[in-house]
Structure 1
């Protein structure tokens, strides 16, 4: 081994040992809590997240586990079907038709196709001929739609009626020739699929943006876990809508909770971070995660979705639902 490489390896090993000694000494004197707090602080740095996602292709967002993406460009009337597993793999494209009045659904019966991100909640078969051989049911209106007073229902991805192989519009659903809907059924796991509907080609995200979002999320977790109420609330938009009401109601509720100074366990994983298409001319991000929360008075295990607004000053939590 060349002498300089040998010296570098010695320095590297010595550095690891010195850091480990410092950690062990801190643990011996003060227990695990100070070390845990320092590690939690480091999780809230962009440096950590840049390294974490460095080998991921994040142009359509970042997904911690494998997921199928249906990326709909309503302008081109095309759906690109991807499987994302550290990077997006294009499986196939399929032509689509949309609502007779275009996109931007707001109300029941407006014959428009919604813009946004949706999950597939159900597969339906043995339907009326107008839906073709099968249909996938989306969760329109989703939680963010409801905060914007959008209504209506029954937005499906379905096939064509057998007597109309050249169907040109729908009442708001997304329809595709039957050969495509059957291929889609064989290709995806609909329970693990996001439907991303945009009026144009999605704006690609960057490593810098994703690292910034993840550092923000873990800063939010840090302030939450260690009961830093002022710092925690500063991460929220004054236009917040949450399961605990608007910002004023949310703030009162959180002041009450944080005042108890309870020790908390907060674990977050299975992240999905996606730029959210919208008609508000805002830069919105959808962040979905599995949350485990445990305090002496409350335990929760389930899905959490928050929507971030991005501006020149960074990110704010706009919706927590």
Structure 2
């Protein structure tokens, strides 16, 4: 009979129901852990202890599960007031490891308490092309990665996972600063697990850091990946990487089998702002008016009118605006008199010290079936949108 109690938990407010997780499915380990938290919150310590023992036995390298199991054992004789409620001498020996596990627990609990409302999406996802089947958003403040499916009915959150980011936090600036970048990125490749060290676990998905905006701001560094953990480590502390975004291997494996290379956007934010999907779409109205005006100018073929949409510091794959103008004139000559259609349009919004829109589309002249896929970066200055990068995707 339990004579003590665990008084840290999700709280007494109703929590989201969790599907029953098969005991041998490591990919649902967090669901099982949160179920244990919920049982503790409901005062059902006996049932929580049974489930905790089972989870700790099946996943001995899941350190947080081991810690919770220890708390439940301790609660048989005394009150347990915090995650990892151990004597002071043991706490000193454990040092940062215990602190990290407590923080991991709080981040997981926070993510469950602060579930995004149905029908909401991160504000960065203004519009996604039908060709973009999935999208990823990372909320570093909650140590959470959200995976979306994009369908004709709109974006739908299909999974979310605990993640770790850089040891030194966020906003990567230079090579080796152990920070995770903030911004809008794309998955560039899927690295075969066989070609990687065990350190990266189930595999790796590199992203295109530094992106065009990062380069414009003089940021350096490379090798920012979404990857897994070594075989003997289930999860890492919230701040534990050299700048990458790290998931458990079962969670990463699901992402590896789901997302598409090159077309999947990855938004990394300090804290995501969730808004009604229709309101987010409508928020792009002023920008879309500028984009249409650029398209109309290009259709007319007036070089000077088209150039009025480009920023003085425009670059295109190393070329300044003057060096790029001959290419623009060549494009206008080939399409003169034909309406330009923008197909498969995606709009991703980023706002920090400046407001930026990352735009991807197929530029298709009237009378043709296909055209070049382009990506532009626009910046808003004094209520005017200007292009500071334009390039074709291979």
TM-score normalized by the length of structure 1 = 0.70
* 1:1-321 to 2 correspondences below 5 Å: 59=123, 60-65=125-130, 66-85=132-151, 86-124=153-191, 125-126=193-194, 127-168=196-237, 169-202=240-273, 204=275, 206-243=280-317, 245-250=319-324, 254=328, 262-264=336-338, 266-276=340-350, 278=352, 281-292=353-364, 301-321=371-391
8 A contact 1:57–1:87 mirrored in 2: no
Offset at residue 115 of structure 1 (A): 1.3
Distance of aligned partners of 1:306 and 1:202 in 2 relative to their CA distance in 1, 3 Å threshold? farther
Which consecutive residues of structure 1, in runs of 5 or more, have no partner in the other structure? Answer: 1-55
Q: Residues 61 and 260 (structure 1 numbering): CA distance in 2 closer, same or farther, change over 3 Å?
A: closer
Q: CA deviation at 1:145?
A: 2.6
Match of 1:20 in 2: none
Q: Which structure is larger by alpha-carbon Rg, 1 or 2?
A: 2
| Structure 1 position 123, deviation (Å) | 1.6
From the two aligned structures, give the one with the greater strand fraction.
1
Shift of 1:100: 1.1
Contact 2:198 2:231 in 1 (8 A): yes
Contact 1:244 1:250 in 2 (8 A): no
Q: Is the 8 A contact 2:299 2:335 kept in 1?
A: no
- Deviations, residues 262-308 of structure 1 (Å, cap 9, x unaligned): 44563321111011255xx111111111223599xxxx943211112
TM-score (norm 2): 0.58
- TM-aligned CA deviation for residue 89 of structure 1: 0.5
When residues 167 and 64 of structure 1 are mapped into structure 2, their CA distance, relative to the original with a 3 A threshold, is closer
Give 5+ residue unaligned stretches, structure 2.
1-119
> What displacement does 1:156 show?
1.0
Bigger relative CO (Cα 8 Å, ≥ 6 apart): 1
The answer to whether the Cα contact below 8 Å between 2:182 and 2:268 also exists between their aligned partners in 1 is: yes
Q: Give the Cα separation in 2 of the matches to 1:191 and 1:257.
A: 25
Alpha-carbon distance in 1 for matches of 2:327, 2:261: 37
